[in-house]
């Protein structure tokens, strides 16, 4: 018996709008260094760079150069504070629960493949009430590889008991699209995430504007793959 089809999701900017909590932590850490807070509208487009990238860009925006080793120390503080405050203002995007439940009702398995650390990812998804819907939740530290390395995606699928030949990736950034393309897996991009460039520039197979469109998009891509 062949494995069920599987939909694999990114987390930040795809399943959940995490920007306010990430930027609040960023500004707390930067503020302790005398750096003015970054406005949410400016910082949200930096989120795909990760915590270190956010800190580096915070210094750049203030016209400051971080002393050697300082970014790593601030990154440790960032992770510690964020881990305790990761679901203050974070919310699922509209339609997420309905889309996940529709996929499961139609026989799909689900997984998460994110460059967020695994513990933070699991804790956040538990706080949001959807962790139990996923056969695997894999972060940047789950395997020796992380997106855009395609092995992060293929190993997530394997851990979830899925088959890469019957998989679709759903994400919002270059790393999501690049990992899927390198793995030969079709990819749906959401238009409302945190890419640092327009998501269409990365060449996803389909782009959706709302999770209500997801099931049809996934069905179409899997049908094309099977043809």
pLDDT digits (tens, 9 = 90+) for 16-54: 999 999 999 999 999 999 998 889 988 888 888 888 989
Number of Cβ within 10 Å of residue 139's Cβ equals 21
Catalytic residue selected from 10, 109, 176, 205: 10
Phi, psi of 95 (to 5 degrees): 90, -5
45 is catalytic: no
Asked whether 214 and 208 are in contact (CB, 8 A), the reply is yes
Please state, in angstroms and rounded to a whole number, the distance separating the CA atoms of residues 20 and 131. Answer: 21
Query: If you search the block for the tokens 């395997």, which residue do you land on?
Result: 143
Q: Residue 7: which of 224, 221, 226 has the closest Cα?
A: 221
Asked whether 203 and 187 are in contact (CB, 8 A), the reply is no
- pLDDT for 47 equals 87
The secondary structure element, H or E, covering residue 54 is helix 50-61
Please state, in angstroms and rounded to a whole number, the distance separating the CA atoms of residues 141 and 26. Answer: 21
Number of Cβ within 10 Å of residue 48's Cβ equals 22
Percent of the chain exceeding pLDDT 70 equals: 99
Q: What pTM did the predictor assign?
A: 0.96
Residue 12 DSSP class: B
End-to-end CA distance of the chain: 20
Work out the pLDDT band at 67, boundaries 50, 70, 90.
confident
- pLDDT for 89 equals 98
- Angle formed by the axes of helices 70-84 and 118-127, to 10°? 30
- pLDDT for 126 equals 98
């Amino acid at each position: 018996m062949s494995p069920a089809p599987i939909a694999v999701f990114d987390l930040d900017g795809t399943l959940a709008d995490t920007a306010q909590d990430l930027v609040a932590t960023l500004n707390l850490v930067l503020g302790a260094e005398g750096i003015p807070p970054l406005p949410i509208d400016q910082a949200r487009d930096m989120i795909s760079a990760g915590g270190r990238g956010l800190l580096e860009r915070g210094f750049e925006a203030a016209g400051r150069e971080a002393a050697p080793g300082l970014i790593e120390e601030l990154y440790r503080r960032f992770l510690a504070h964020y881990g305790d405050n990761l679901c203050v203002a974070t919310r699922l995007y509209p339609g997420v629960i309905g889309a996940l439940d529709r996929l499961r009702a139609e026989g799909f398995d689900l997984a998460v493949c994110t460059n967020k650390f695994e513990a933070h990812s699991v804790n956040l998804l538990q706080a949001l009430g959807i962790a139990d819907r996923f056969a695997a939740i894999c972060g940047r530290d789950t395997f020796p590889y992380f997106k855009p390395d395609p092995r992060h995606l293929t190993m997530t699928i394997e851990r979830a008991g899925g088959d890469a030949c019957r998989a679709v990736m759903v994400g919002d950034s270059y790393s999501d699209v690049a990992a899927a393309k390198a793995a030969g897996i079709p990819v749906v991009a959401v238009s409302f995430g945190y890419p640092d460039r327009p998501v269409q520039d990365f060449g996803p197979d389909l782009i959706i504007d709302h999770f209500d469109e997801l099931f049809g998009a996934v069905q179409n891509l899997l049908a094309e793959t099977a043809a």
